[in-house]
Amino acid sequence: MYSKVYWIGCDPDKAPNLMEHYDSVLTPAIQSSEYHVGHHMVETGSGKWLLVSNYHEKAGADAAVPMVQELVKPMVEQFGMTLEVITEGEVVRSI
């Protein structure tokens, strides 16, 4: 398994709408993706999240980039969302 870790941010006043959009649009797309294993999102503050995106392998993570960009673009435009890759790598332990 391969993971990418992101910081996500947006205006706290827009956070509920961002999460609603995430649940209604991104969740089904990720669940139907041939590349993704899933996501874990941690709320770290008002309008701030840490996202761990899990993939079957690095090649899948790379192949998923255009799909992710397409999904994220409207969120940046509508909610002022920021998305920053913090790090990425092979999962070495999963309990």
Model pLDDT for residues 22-79, shown as the tens digit of each residue: 999 999 999 999 999 999 999 999 999 999 999 999 999 999 999 999 999 999 999 9
Q: Model pTM?
A: 0.87
Domain count, the chain: 1
54 occurs within a structural domain = yes
- SS3 for 86? strand
Strand order in the sheet with 2-9: 36-45, 48-55, 2-9, 82-90
- SS3 for 40? strand
- Rounded to whole angstroms, the Cα distance separating 71 from 61 reads 15
16 occurs within a structural domain = yes
Q: Report yes or no: 6 and 51 within 8 Å, Cβ to Cβ.
A: yes
pLDDT of residue 59: 97
Model pLDDT for residues 33-47, shown as the tens digit of each residue: 999 999 999 999 999
46 occurs within a structural domain = yes
Structure confidence at residue 3 as a pLDDT band (50, 70, 90): very high
Q: Report yes or no: 12 and 46 within 8 Å, Cβ to Cβ.
A: yes
- The dihedral over CA atoms of 70, 60, 37, 75, expressed in degrees to the nearest 10, equals -10
Structure confidence at residue 82 as a pLDDT band (50, 70, 90): very high
Range of the domain at 77: 2-88
CATH number at residue 42: 3.30.70.100
